[in-house]
Structure 1
Amino acid sequence: MYDTIHLILKENDLDIPISFKEEVACNIEIDEKKSTISKIYGHIDNMSVMITGKTLSVIGSLTSYTKGNNIKGMVFSEVKKAIESLSKTLNVPLEKAKVKRIDIAQTFTMQFEPRLYLPKLYYLSGFSRSNISGTSLYFGKESKRKSGENLQLLFYDKNAELRNSDGYPLVQKSRNLLRYELRIKNVKYTFKRKIRCLELFSEDFYRELINLWYSMYKSIEKRLESLEDYCEIKLNGKKDLYETCLRLCVMAFNMEEEVEIASKKGKVTAQNKSNVLKKIKEIKEELRKKHPILSMIDELNKKIKKEYEEQIKGLEKEA
């Protein structure tokens, strides 16, 4: 579930200080156009590296660095190996680095196009909602610090990104891939303490991140937008309309209770009461047998909950 990370390491953080310009620059592919006398820009695969004076900055998708793409997130057990590999390549102990940013993310294969799910993610208290395009949705929150945005939730069509890249399996491009990312852009502000890279290997800290990822999603107010969010809709004629309206009434209200109230008011005879209750029971049994179309938001809720539970179980196995 770890994706993008931003690490900051200073020379005086090391037990044996070294010169980043001398020892690290030779291990990266330097971007001559961006580099200046005071700053060195470069990269290792997809990871961007910047050396400014005695400070080393590393940012990029840890999942893409390890797997070549970030369609599916890393499992917890892979994180330490990825950091160790990056440390070995740079020839510096990144576990001592300060973590400035962490993204927790996962991609889900959905029944429908991702853009159809976005309008149903309606409101998150304290966050601004922004549809930058028809294929992405942002919930952003400003921190009180000058560093700007602190937390950001992003939902987007992963295929929109895949179509512009040659680095992903072609088989994925035919799927409805919806991605949910929680971007913690100011880690210290969020957790009220400095987080070192070493904590990324901690089960307790990972559990804290996963809980935040899941709880933030649950806090979003969801909105049902069409009748099909409630049950299967058939409108091909008067009979279909009548049966659909009956199903909606039975699903939306406690019809047995309504019949009891009407009976006490003398609006329903004993015989008709029995017949109506029998019909309500038949409709409920029919709905259970036919397994009506699952609402889109229920589908997304279940997939995200399942991912959360699997991540927690994975930690229990590691323990």
Structure 2
Amino acid sequence: MYDTLRFILKEEELNNEISFIEEVSCRLTDVKYYNNRVVGRIKNMLVDIRGTTLIVEGSLTKWFLGNNYERFLLLWEIRSAIRSLGSALGVSIEKAKVSRIDIAFNFSVSYVPWLYLTKLLYFDSYHRSNIEKETLYFDRYDCQLVFYDKMSELKSCGVEELEDLKDLNLLRYEFRFKKVTKLFGEVRGSCLYDSDFCLSLLEKWYRCYMDIDKQVEEVGLKFTGVKGMKESCVALCMSEINMFEAVEEAFVKKEINSAVKFAVLQELRRIGSIYCDCDNEKASLIDELTKKIDNAYVMLKRRYNVSPARLELLNRSYDNVS
């Protein structure tokens, strides 16, 4: 579930019982020293010590499993990963403030991932942008959705152990919470393996995908009546161009006002829902991806919906094994 996390811990939060520059820096590799600042690494984690403040950033899944593509971490594994990171640094990461949270899951799809990205058109209040054709962003000041070709990313990073994955098309959907405190209030490391907190992150990840306006698949014109003909013409346009972006552009140019923009977007969504519901002999690309995300959401909710008593039991069992 968790990919990149950023932890911030101050010496005063540990009652000044430790000096980060003296006692944490000696545990790091690739160390660089600056004026009252030390930067280094511990495995895949970037560690930045700025006076009495410790900043740790990196993929928690990669820290624990060695990679972030094979599977996601379960609740008790998240707890174990955070504790092992703290043990390696010699500080309690559970007490650290969390300022960034990325959650992500990979999906094996039938075709190359960029084909699916072209079907994700518009998300109200988010800026849509592409980095080449393998990556798609929906960006806002406090959070960001990213869709990309995971295999392409792994190859570009020089990962060689891909024999079991070489024939797969892996699409990764990543949600980045850039302003954690604004969105959730104060979040500490110990919150990351809280069942309710994990479920709230998962809900945001799922709902935001579902709220994206998606491209209508190619449709035929209907001449069953004037209304049907007009709607099918609009649907045909929607299958060829990004009508949502066209409306946004008209609004930015002040060719339409906010009331017209709202009404037109609502009508596009209404027509889109009608034609998306049409029976097709073969599931569309967007139907395939949405079904996979739907199924993952249901499965993940079951995995992360763990009562405190059961979680404590699982934690004890896991601690005994490890």
Paired with 2:223 and 2:199, the residues of 1 have a C-alpha distance of 42
Structure 1 stretches lacking a partner, 5+ long: 143-149, 228-244, 255-286
Contact 2:61 2:73 in 1 (8 A): yes
2:190 corresponds to: 198
Paired with 1:209 and 1:26, the residues of 2 have a C-alpha distance of 35
Which residues in structure 2 correspond to 1:219-258 (within 5 Å)? 219-226=211-218
Q: Deviations over 1:140-196 (max 9, x none)?
A: 002xxxxxxx200000000111212225432213210000000001101112x1111
Cα distance 1:141–1:215, how it changes in 2: closer, same or farther (>3 A)?
same
Paired with 2:87 and 2:212, the residues of 1 have a C-alpha distance of 41
2:110 corresponds to: 111
- Alignment partner of 2:297 out of 285, 308, 313: 308
**Residue 126 of structure 1 aligns to a residue in which SS?**
coil
TM-score, length of structure 2 as denominator length: 0.74
One-letter code aligned to 2:65? K
1:13 corresponds to: 13
2:121 corresponds to: 122
Which residues in structure 2 correspond to 1:211-226 (within 5 Å)? 211-226=203-218
1:68 corresponds to: 66
- Alignment partner of 1:176 out of 169, 172, 194: 169
Q: Deviations over 1:15-54 (max 9, x none)?
A: 452100111111111433xx31321111111110010000
- Between stretches 170-179 and 104-113, larger displacement belongs to 170-179
Cα distance 1:167–1:92, how it changes in 2: closer, same or farther (>3 A)?
farther
Cα distance 1:173–1:117, how it changes in 2: closer, same or farther (>3 A)?
same
Contact 2:191 2:197 in 1 (8 A): yes
1:51 corresponds to: 49
Deviation for aligned residue 1:60: 0.3
**Residue 173 of structure 1 aligns to a residue in which SS?**
coil
- Alignment partner of 2:180 out of 174, 183, 187: 187
**Residue 299 of structure 1 aligns to a residue in which SS?**
helix
Cα distance 1:317–1:249, how it changes in 2: closer, same or farther (>3 A)?
farther
TM-score, length of structure 1 as denominator length: 0.75
Task: Give the number of aligned pairs.
Answer: 255
Structure 2 stretches lacking a partner, 5+ long: 229-277, 311-322
Paired with 1:98 and 1:63, the residues of 2 have a C-alpha distance of 18
1:87 corresponds to: 86
Whether 1:152 and 2:144 are equivalent positions in the alignment is: yes
Deviation for aligned residue 1:225: 4.2
Contact 1:69 1:167 in 2 (8 A): no
1:207 corresponds to: 199
**Residue 134 of structure 1 aligns to a residue in which SS?**
coil
RMSD after superposition = 2.3
